[in-house]
Amino acid sequence: MRPVSIFVVITTILIVLTIGIAAPLQAAEKKPVVVGFIHSMSGAMSMYGISSEAGGQIAVEEINAAGGILGRPLKMITRDDKLNPEVGLREAKDLLLSEKADFLSGTISSAVALAISNHVKREKKIFIVNISQSSSITEENGHRYIFRIDTNAVPYWGYAPAIALANTWKDKKIVSLGFDYETGKNSLKAFKEKYFQLIPDAKIIDELWAPLGTTDFTAYITKIANSGADAFFLSCIYGGGELAFTKQAYAFGLYDKMHAIQHCAGDVETWHGVKKGEPYPKGTLATGRFPFWAIDDPKSKSFVEKHNKKVSFYPSYGAMNQYVIMYALKAAIEKAGGVDTEKIINALENMNLDTFVGKIPIRAYDHQAMMPTWYGIMDFSPSLPFPHLAKTQGVMGEESYHTVEQIKKLRQQK
């Protein structure tokens, strides 16, 4: 047997050392980009969390199947905030510390969102809200590390229905009914501000306020019917409250007596369980954030199919928002060349998101995405088993949000 040359021995050693060094480097390169997802995954609001998680996971699967982000896989880790700010903040801290999350997203509770927002401001980490609606999140309390890819409560619940009404019926005499709390009052204030600007001779002839949590609306319905108004406007009565009101108003025949404006009624989560023949907001002018049945885009149709296979019910707007968030992060990371927080923020500011609901700009000043709002008339149609925006009449964008100048004033007043 010929002796092994020193050259062969050295070459072999170098190859082994190279493989030993390259393997950890390759593993490091494939370290996942981690998004911590905090939402209400149990309890009364769990439908939003479950649907939103499904939307985010669809994006994760698509992105990873296409090669990930800069060669790295994308990973979303879910935690339940239980609608509790203390729990949500604890989970956010743990995701950043234990899971080394690069970004945080999620939440439906504005109290949870504000608690996490304060924390990420100190820690200089990015948090992207996918549902929480409080205007103050990106307006009075906005800062460099908070973004929102969803609509904004006061403009959405006030400006959007005002624009929809002005474009549809132009009613002059309106009676309002709202839950008696800050958001309800602010929403009516925003509605009046925008509607009186568009229809100067209109007026609110009566403002009715029900205690938060009211389920018996009989006395209020009687007052509305006898008010002499052309239309009634529900100010922040939604979810279970809206279902209870609608059932009682439908039995009373209120929807046949006058026009109705119920913002959020066009979102599927409230009405997806209502069948034909049951009480529903008949003929109501409503707004919605993801009327997938009216969106003629193959990507939207594919998303709905994938969502329904995951959770066996129709996607909420939160699912669409979380899907968009994951792709927004992908685009920002690729533009920044990595996950450096400050570079990602710069990339997200003024970004135009390419989505299946159109081009969506993220406004640099307040980090608010100009998500669209559809409006139309609630009814049944052959395409869906529940009442929905069967007759969509238009879509709104930036005109349904506060302007930058308005937000500057709000921040000065803080």
- Encode pLDDT of 127-173 as tens digits: 999 999 999 999 999 999 999 999 998 888 899 999 999 999 999 99
Angle CA 234–236–242, to nearest 5: 65
- Tell me if 410 is assigned to some domain: no
Q: Tell me, what's the pLDDT at 294? A: 92
- Tell me if 405 is assigned to some domain: no
| Residues 119 and 187 grouped into a single domain | no
Q: Tell me, what's the pLDDT at 29? A: 59
Residue 223 region by backbone torsions, left for phi larger than 0, else alpha for psi between -120 and 50, else beta: alpha
Tell me the per-residue pLDDT of 5-44, one tens digit each, with 9 for 90 and over: 555 445 554 454 444 444 344 434 589 999 999 999 999 8
Return the closest-CA partner of residue 397 out of 347, 367, 358.
358
Q: Tell me, what's the pLDDT at 1? A: 41
d(CA 260, CA 345): 42
pTM for this prediction: 0.89
Q: Tell me, what's the pLDDT at 392? A: 87
Residue 210, helix vs strand vs coil: strand
- Tell me if 273 is assigned to some domain: yes
Query: What are the beta bridge partners of residue 379?
Result: 388
Kindly give the pairing relationship between strand 33-39 and strand 74-80: parallel
DSSP 149: -
d(CA 352, CA 299): 18
Q: Tell me, what's the pLDDT at 239? A: 80
d(CA 401, CA 152): 7
Write out the DSSP string of 314-344. PPPHHHHHHHHHHHHHHHHHHHHTS--HHHH
Q: Tell me, what's the pLDDT at 27? A: 37
| Residues 8 and 144 grouped into a single domain | no
Q: Tell me, what's the pLDDT at 20? A: 45
- Tell me if 412 is assigned to some domain: no
| Residues 19 and 124 grouped into a single domain | no
Q: Tell me, what's the pLDDT at 6? A: 59
| Residues 281 and 300 grouped into a single domain | no
| Residues 179 and 243 grouped into a single domain | yes
| Residues 182 and 247 grouped into a single domain | yes
| Residues 209 and 341 grouped into a single domain | no
Kindly give the pairing relationship between strand 358-361 and strand 352-355: antiparallel
Query: What are phi and psi for residue 173, nearest 5 degrees?
Result: -115, 120
CB distance 178 to 235 below 8 Å: yes
CB count, 10 Å around CB of 268? Answer: 24
Return the closest-CA partner of residue 176 out of 152, 192, 199, 159.
192
| Residues 141 and 209 grouped into a single domain | no
Q: Tell me, what's the pLDDT at 30? A: 85
Q: How many domains does the chain have?
A: 3
Low-confidence ranges of the chain (pLDDT < 50): 1-4, 8-9, 13-14, 16-28
DSSP 275: P
Type of residue found at 137: I
Q: Residue 19: which domain range?
A: 1-25
User: Is 140 exposed, middle or buried (CB count within 10 Å of its CB: 0-12, 13-18, 19+)?
Assistant: middle
- Tell me if 54 is assigned to some domain: yes
| CB proximity list for 347: less than 8 A, separation 6 or greater | 331, 332, 333, 335, 336
CB count, 10 Å around CB of 219? Answer: 11
